[in-house]
């Protein structure tokens, strides 16, 4: 998700406002003078053959989402886009984060969902290696890591995998609700069962503003009971720009702690190939010394489609400040990531 993840991002769902902004689900049209994808029509036969085979697989797998907020989230590969996409889907990312002190964080992150046959697409198998655990990925306040990323795929250090089942709930007013249960495997061999129930609701406040709220109630055998709530406001600034204000609160019963993250993001969909996300965010926590500021950050995320609609390269320079050094020393870092999304594209 995306998230576990960049400090910045969310989505929108389905219905249309009374006077909808023009074609909010469309990215800027691709004109004849726009460049082709970076890896398209190369002079390397082996690369072309590999991409063509992967392209056939990509067309076989799942489905795509709609609407400006959803299109933005889908482009940036967020957890919300993954959850709300229909059908089978597989996302694989290879993040490398370079810090000014010479430290390099790297991992291979995977998340997949598979519709079970004969269940009317209600039951899904969920497999992920992109979360250490449910609660750790939700709080994201480990001072050895950047503030959690919400605008792009997860880049946490991994020492676990998770396998579970998810049942989609039909509700009239709540969108993409589900219950899920499964097992996290900490350090690969240590089982950590979990259960969760999540619901999202959307309000169209005006032709420009959309509000979304989600609640994710979860239990984990190691971390106990917790609740993560998200309130997002999206402002449609035209076909190319989307402004987002996002507040995320996470409560953990066992620790009797509450964390709050707030992010401002401006998305610029430059063209069908390229998107930029300018982000600014803060984190607060009640751990140890009462409610206080624990971290803040700023940065820009550059995401580029390098082959058709499913292969991306991402570059994110950012700066983070943490209470671990009394905010006296900045952590400058650059994230470089390759990501592939396999799902069925609508014709």
Q: Is 73 helix (H, G, I), strand (E, B) or coil?
A: helix
Averaged pLDDT, 21-44 = 53
Whether the Cβ atoms of residue 149 and residue 314 lie closer than 8 Å to each other:
no
Ramachandran bin of 71, using left for φ above 0, alpha for ψ from -120 to 50, beta for the remaining angles: alpha
Q: Is 13 helix (H, G, I), strand (E, B) or coil?
A: coil
Ramachandran bin of 46, using left for φ above 0, alpha for ψ from -120 to 50, beta for the remaining angles: alpha
Decide if pLDDT at 30 tops 50.
Answer: no
Q: Residue 229: its pLDDT value, please? A: 96
Whether the Cβ atoms of residue 234 and residue 265 lie closer than 8 Å to each other:
no
Bridge partners of 304?
274, 313
Task: Return the number of other C-beta atoms located less than 10 Å from residue 57's C-beta.
Answer: 12
Whether the Cβ atoms of residue 245 and residue 233 lie closer than 8 Å to each other:
yes
Decide if pLDDT at 72 tops 80.
Answer: no
Q: Residue 20: its pLDDT value, please? A: 39
Report d(CA 301, CA 274) in Å as an integer.
11
Task: Return the number of other C-beta atoms located less than 10 Å from residue 35's C-beta.
Answer: 10
Decide if pLDDT at 325 tops 70.
Answer: yes
161 vs 172, which has greater pLDDT?
161
- Tokens encoding 105: 């964080």
Q: Is 181 helix (H, G, I), strand (E, B) or coil?
A: strand
What residue ranges do the domains of the chain occupy?
45-342
- pLDDT tens, 187-243? 667 788 999 999 888 888 888 999 999 999 999 888 889 999 999 999 999 888 999
**Cα dist from 336 to 104, 105, 154, whole Å:** 11, 10, 12
User: Residue-wise over 239-253: b if at least 16 C-beta within 10 A, else e?
Assistant: beebbbebebbbbbe
Report d(CA 336, CA 315) in Å as an integer.
5
Report d(CA 132, CA 190) in Å as an integer.
12
How deeply is 269 buried, as exposed, middle or buried, from its count of CB atoms within 10 A (0-12, 13-18, 19+)? buried
Residue 160 Cα to chain centre, angstroms: 18
Report d(CA 237, CA 265) in Å as an integer.
13
Using the Cα atoms of residue 75, residue 202, residue 265 and residue 260 in order, give the sign of their dihedral: negative
Helices vs strands, H then E, count in the chain:
4, 15
Report d(CA 5, CA 109) in Å as an integer.
12
User: pTM, whole model, 2 decimals?
Assistant: 0.71
Q: DSSP secondary structure string, 288-333? A: TTSSEEEEEEEEEEEEEEEETTTEEEEEEEEEEEEGGGTT-S-EEE
Q: Residue 159: its pLDDT value, please? A: 46
Which residues are CB-neighbours of 56 under 8 A, at least 6 positions away? none
Q: Residue 116: its pLDDT value, please? A: 86
Fold observed for domain 45-342: Porin (2.40.160)
- pLDDT tens, 273-306? 899 999 999 999 998 888 999 999 999 999 999 8
Task: Return the number of other C-beta atoms located less than 10 Å from residue 103's C-beta.
Answer: 11
Report d(CA 78, CA 161) in Å as an integer.
19
């Amino acid at each position: 998700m995306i998230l576990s993840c960049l400090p910045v991002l969310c989505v929108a769902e389905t219905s249309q406002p009374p006077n909808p902004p023009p074609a909010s689900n469309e990215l800027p049209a691709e004109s004849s003078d726009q460049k082709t994808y970076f890896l398209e029509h190369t002079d390397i036969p082996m690369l072309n053959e590999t991409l063509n085979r992967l392209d056939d697989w990509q067309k076989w797998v799942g489905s795509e989402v709609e609407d400006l907020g959803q299109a933005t989230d889908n482009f940036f590969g967020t957890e919300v886009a993954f959850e709300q996409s229909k059908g089978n889907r597989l996302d694989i990312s290879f993040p490398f984060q370079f810090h000014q002190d010479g430290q390099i964080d790297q991992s291979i992150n995977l998340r997949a969902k598979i519709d079970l046959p004969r269940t009317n697409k209600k039951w899904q198998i969920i497999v992920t290696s992109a979360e250490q655990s449910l609660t750790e990925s939700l709080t994201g306040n480990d001072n050895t890591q950047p503030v959690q990323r919400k605008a792009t795929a997860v880049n946490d250090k991994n020492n676990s995998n998770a396998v579970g089942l998810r049942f989609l709930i039909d509700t009239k007013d709540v969108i993409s609700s589900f219950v899920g249960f499964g097992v996290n495997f900490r350090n690969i061999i240590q089982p950590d069962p979990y259960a969760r129930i999540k619901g999202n609701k959307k309000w169209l406040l005006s032709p420009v503003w959309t509000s979304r709220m989600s609640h994710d109630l979860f239990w984990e055998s190691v971390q106990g009971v917790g609740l993560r709530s998200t309130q997002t406001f999206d402002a449609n600034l035209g076909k190319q720009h989307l402004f987002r204000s996002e507040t995320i609160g996470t409560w953990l019963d066992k620790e009797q702690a509450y964390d709050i993250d707030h992010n401002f993001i401006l998305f610029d969909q430059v063209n069908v190939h390229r998107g930029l996300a300018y982000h600014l965010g803060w984190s607060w926590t009640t751990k140890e010394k009462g409610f206080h500021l624990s971290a803040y950050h700023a940065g820009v995320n550059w995401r580029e489609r390098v082959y058709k609609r499913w292969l991306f390269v991402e570059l994110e320079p950012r700066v983070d400040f943490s209470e671990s050094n009394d905010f006296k020393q900045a952590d400058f870092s650059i994230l470089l990531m390759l990501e592939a999304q396999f799902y069925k594209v609508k014709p």
